[in-house]
Amino acid sequence: MENTQDSDRLLIAACGMNCGICLGYLRDKNKCLGCRNVVPETQISRVRCVIKNCLHLKETESGFCYECEIFPCKRLKQLDKRYRTKYKMSMIENLESIRDSGLDAFIKKEKERWKCSNCGGTICVHRGYCVKCKEIKN
């Protein structure tokens, strides 16, 4: 089995978002380092994130929302609905996959799911195309 690097693990946010496919992470200018990166909070979106700052999340052993007693909470359901509608991706399904199959298996599946078939780059969930070659995801 392929070993998942710690840097890959840090790109999976508590809410189930794969920061590695996020426009904020993939862009060159004002690049976000991911929601779980331990550098000082410089991204305003991370500072203000209701889920990242949730008191219930601090009580979980894993650091993921799936372990919370109120999973899925109202905020996560709202976020999930927006991402399902706009981007064809579900954070709740991501969290269930992590819970059921483990983080390493989830990361491996995500790398394949969001890999550009044209150049091997990464498809951006927010744009629907590869950030390197602009190939549109099928």
Tens of pLDDT, residues 25-82: 999 888 888 887 766 555 555 556 777 777 777 788 888 999 999 999 999 999 999 9
Question: pLDDT at position 54, please?
Answer: 79
Amino acid identity of 22? Answer: C
The verdict on pTM exceeding 0.75 is: yes
Question: pLDDT at position 33, please?
Answer: 82
Beta pairing partners, 129 = 136
SS3 of the chain: the string is CCCCCHHHHCCECCCCCEHHHCHHHHCCCCCCCCCCCCCCCCCHHHHHCCCCCCHHHHCCCCCCHHHCCCCCCHHHHHHHHHHHHHHCCCHHHHHHHHHHHCHHHHHHHHHHHCECCCCCCEECCCCCEECCCCCECC
Q: Stretch 104-113: mean pLDDT, rounded?
A: 96
Q: What CA–CA distance (Å, rounded) separates 70 from 53?
A: 15
The structural domains of the chain, with segments of one domain joined by +, span: 6-113
CB burial readout 95-134, b (16+ within 10 A) else e: bbbbbeeebeebbbebbeebebeeeebbbbbebebbbeee
